[in-house]
Structure 1
Amino acid sequence: MPTRRIAQIVHLKPSAAEAYKKCHAAVWPEVLQQIQDCNITDYSIFFDNDCTLFATFKWVGSDWEGDMKKMSQKPKVREWWAMTDGMQESPIPDAVSSAEGPGWWKVLDEVFHTD
């Protein structure tokens, strides 16, 4: 199965920039383990100081839907999402949260890549 590259954006509330950076400087071990267990590698989040967060990662699994369901079922991950969602504003119409609804982070279309 080939590696799938994912890029996403979400908006950070201006008042939450420092808290967001602080919590990501010490991500909970259970969250890091679940990311790995769901076949996500090379995960980075970038901040452009204009309140946009840009995330990129590689997914190396064989069942995307299954891995995303597994990710969302971990209570500690849901707790993490509740905390970080409160710091963000989703660009997705009718977004509810990372755990529910049509999605929270907007997935971007890849238009160019080189190995």
Structure 2
Amino acid sequence: MPDRRPARVCFTSQVRPDRLDAYRAAHAEVWPEMLEALRDAGWRDYRLFLRPDGLLVGFLETDDYAAAQEAMARTAVNARWQAAMGDFFVDGGNPDEGFVVLDEVFHLEAQLERAGLPTG
């Protein structure tokens, strides 16, 4: 039987250290149209974590990451958001294209389940 759990995606990027406060402010009030587009494209439990040196770590769940990315790329609001966010990042350009996706190497609940142990 195929694994039907949603894909968990974790990625990193690098925010310019001199732009951290502005980056935090932009994400404190994300445009409602952008929030709806992310939801409608299948991005769930999407979170961003920011370290004081600008390391950004993102996490999301989705049924199909490539499809979720493609759905966002087709929206006008995403193009506007990426343009607004571009100068926050060390590499510039489209921030979505600069994500470094990490491999998941450990998941507590999955290993508990495999071992036949309770997860709660």
Q: Which bracket does the TM-score occupy, shorter chain normalised?
A: 0.7 to 0.9
Is 1:42 the equivalent of 2:50?
no
- Residue 2 of structure 1 aligns to a residue whose secondary structure is coil
Q: Please report the RMSD computed on the Cα atoms of aligned residues, expressed in angstroms.
A: 1.7
**Percent sequence identity over matched residues?**
26
What TM-score do you get using the length of structure 1 for normalisation? Answer: 0.83
Q: Counterpart in 1 of 2:30?
A: 27
Q: Does 1:97 align with 2:91?
A: no
* Structure 1 residue 97, shift from structure 2 partner: 2.0
Kindly name which structure, 1 or 2, has the bigger radius of gyration based on alpha carbons: 2
The structure carrying a bigger helix percent of its residues is: 2
Structure 1, unaligned stretches of length 5 or more?
none
1:86 alignment partner, SS class:
helix
1:96 is displaced (CA, Å) by 4.6
Gaps of 5+ in 2: 110-120
How is 1:32-71 mapped onto 2 (pairs within 5 angstroms)?
32-59=35-62, 61=63, 63-71=64-72
The alignment covers a number of residue pairs equal to 106
For residues 66 and 3 of structure 1, the distance between their equivalents in structure 2, rounded to whole angstroms, comes to: 13
